[in-house]
């Protein structure tokens, strides 16, 4: 069963958005504004009011494509006219950004806002997007008013290098002209490689693993693939001093992240940044929300990056006539060129390294990341990672035809718990109505800043060199509810499923053994430390006795 609760509502409540300043606007219900975005967005309330006021020269505003804001009574003709005008504003807003991916809020704490978008379509002649500038101005203005700040700082982080952005500008894209945006807005380039370079690097890595994994010069071959460099670059761009987290925390600024289309490098950066700054996303539930929000709802093209068939409807074993026809009039999904690249895998690899460096900060373990990586690669019966966007999922009725991996995770939650996890004080998790905890900088104490030196960035061995007891693929491939029936009278060491040992039970034994080894290691460390303390004490006593003997001997000789 898919989790059909509103992701946007959940995030709205979680980020403690002030309902007088921010609202959830359903301006994309039929995906006509942006085919690759979700149906709901968090927007400043004022921009919805000003949009209708400016376009209609009216002080009243009404149902803006079912926008979730309070409205005053209006006539039917007024409502239709205002709705059309508001729709025109957002259509123009979407046209100025690549693939219609205009700036949207994905995270907020206090006066620090994290946004994402596609590249601006300024072109070679430097076109302007008045609606885009208005949106950015209203976001900063709302933050200023909400937290009584004179002038909030906004930094636009372009994941591309300057040369790549300039080349895109000659092709109709480009980068922001900060002179047209609010004061204290700056532009910085991160210089991350594009998906084609990442794909070539990963292919070289797979060839090296297949042919030279046992070679004496393995580490030299690994270095030449460049894969670990891409991992380090992404971690540095997300969590470094000059990266996204550095600007949020050290410079106390708001950040807009974008690349070319805003669904590959952008998604990696904002996802890693939120994990580093917000302890909620280090929980099992939090990671589910993050992936559902940033990767699935905001349109990372899983199908195109995984080289899946273009027409998923043809793969349904059932007759099309038996599938319930969708009565809603959705916009036809965009056709994207297939470009296989391990974008999601690179994100999980970076998360794996953060987990290794901060093992007690995460509720989930590395096995959880491994299962997600296997599932996204196609080794599972789940439908979460099959489509490019929400529009495509609605068009083929994916949620009615497949199971979600999250229901499977919920049923086997114990396999994915990290025994070293130390829950951070839950001021963010409990005090949902206490805005003081968000206005101050207390949240910055819990920010993770991973090391990106070459000595700590290594290959994810459990993924590329599976151990004999790695049951991630077997677990993902087992039939639904295959392990619910246990034979009567069977002992704990003899659990069976249809005459065969339950692989879930084997994983249970494996996890228990792992926890036991960790506990034994801690106990050995304590014993060693205790022994070292005793030895040091004995040496100190011996030295004192020796000093006393020397003093007595000296006094006797002098006598």
Query: Which residues are known to be catalytic?
Result: 259
Reference 367, options 475, 450, 274; nearest CA is 475
DSSP3 helix / strand / coil % (the chain, rounded to 5): 50, 10, 40
User: Which residues are CB-contacts of 557 (< 8 A; sequence separation ≥ 6)?
Assistant: none
Question: HEC string of 323-371?
Answer: CCCCCCCCCCCCCCCCCCCCHHHHHHHHHHHHHHHCHHHCCECHHHHHH
- Give the whole-angstrom CA distance, residue 55 versus residue 175: 28
| DSSP-H helix ranges across 258-342 | 265-277, 284-290, 302-306
Number of H helices, E strands in the chain: 22, 9
Confirm if 319 and 401 have CB atoms less than 8 A apart.
no
Q: What are 226-230's contacts with CB under 8 Å, separation 24+?
A: 226/201, 227/201, 227/202, 227/459, 228/454, 228/457, 228/458, 228/459, 230/193, 230/197, 230/198, 230/201, 230/346
Give phi and psi for 177, each to the nearest 5: -90, 100
- Give the whole-angstrom CA distance, residue 74 versus residue 62: 7
Token representation of residue 113: 């806002």
Could you give the angle at which helices 130-147 and 45-56 cross, rounded to 10 degrees?
130
């Amino acid at each position: 069963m898919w989790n059909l609760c509103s992701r946007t509502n959940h995030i709205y409540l979680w980020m403690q958005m002030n309902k007088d300043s921010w609202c959830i606007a359903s301006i994309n219900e039929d995906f006509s504004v942006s085919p690759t975005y979700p149906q709901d967005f968090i927007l400043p309330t004022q921009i919805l009011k000003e949009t209708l006021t400016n376009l209609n020269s009216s002080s009243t505003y009404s149902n803006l494509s079912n926008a979730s804001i309070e409205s005053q009574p209006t006539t039917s003709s007024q409502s239709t006219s205002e709705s059309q005008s508001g729709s025109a504003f957002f259509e123009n807003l979407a046209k100025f950004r690549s693939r219609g991916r205009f700036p949207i809020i994905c995270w907020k704490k206090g006066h620090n806002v994290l946004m994402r978008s596609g590249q601006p379509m300024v072109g070679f002649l430097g076109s302007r997007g008045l609606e885009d500038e208005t949106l950015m101005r209203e976001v900063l203005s709302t933050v200023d008013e909400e937290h009584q700040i004179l002038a909030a700082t906004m930094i636009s982080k372009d994941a591309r290098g300057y040369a790549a952005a300039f080349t895109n500008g000659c092709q109709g894209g480009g980068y922001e002209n900060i002179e047209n945006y609010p004061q204290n807005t700056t532009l910085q380039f991160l210089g991350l490689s594009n998906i084609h370079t990442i794909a070539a690097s990963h292919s070289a890595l797979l060839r090296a693993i297949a042919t030279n994994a046992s070679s004496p010069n393995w580490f030299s071959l690994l270095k030449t693939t460049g894969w670990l460099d891409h991992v380090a670059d992404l971690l540095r761009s997300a969590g470094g001093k000059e990266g996204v987290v550095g600007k949020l925390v050290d410079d106390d600024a708001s950040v807009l992240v974008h690349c070319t289309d805003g669904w590959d490098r952008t998604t990696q950066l904002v996802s890693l940044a939120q994990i580093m700054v917000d302890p909620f996303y280090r929980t099992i539930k939090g990671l589910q929300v993050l992936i559902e929000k940033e990767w699935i709802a905001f349109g990372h093209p899983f199908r195109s990056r995984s080289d899946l068939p273009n027409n998923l409807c043809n793969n349904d074993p059932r007759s099309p006539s038996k599938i319930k026809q969708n009565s809603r009039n959705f916009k036809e999904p965009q056709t994207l060129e297939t470009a296989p690249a391990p974008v999601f895998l690179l994100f999980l690899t970076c998360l794996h390294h953060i987990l290794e460096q901060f093992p007690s900060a995460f509720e989930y373990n590395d096995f959880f990341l491994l299962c997600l990586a296997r599932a996204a690669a196609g080794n599972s019966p789940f439908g979460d990672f099959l489509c490019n966007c929400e529009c495509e999922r609605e068009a083929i009725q994916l949620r009615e035809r497949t199971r979600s991996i999250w229901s499977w995770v919920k049923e086997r939650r114990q396999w994915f718990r990290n025994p070293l996890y130390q829950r951070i004080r839950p001021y963010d998790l409990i005090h949902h109505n206490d805005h003081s905890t968000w206005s101050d900088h207390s949240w910055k104490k819990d920010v993770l800043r991973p090391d990106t030196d070459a000595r700590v960035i290594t290959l994810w061995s459990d993924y590329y060199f599976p151990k004999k007891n790695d049951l991630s693929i077997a677990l993902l491939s087992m039939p639904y509810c295959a392990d619910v029936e246990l034979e009567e009278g069977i002992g704990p060491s003899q659990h069976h499923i249809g005459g065969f040992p339950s692989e879930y039970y084997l994983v249970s034994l494996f996890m228990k053994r792992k926890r036991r080894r960790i506990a034994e290691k801690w106990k050995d460390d304590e014993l060693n430390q205790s022994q070292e303390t005793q030895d040091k004490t004995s040496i100190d006593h011996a030295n004192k006795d020796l000093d006393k003997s020397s003093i007595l001997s000296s006094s006797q000789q002098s006598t």
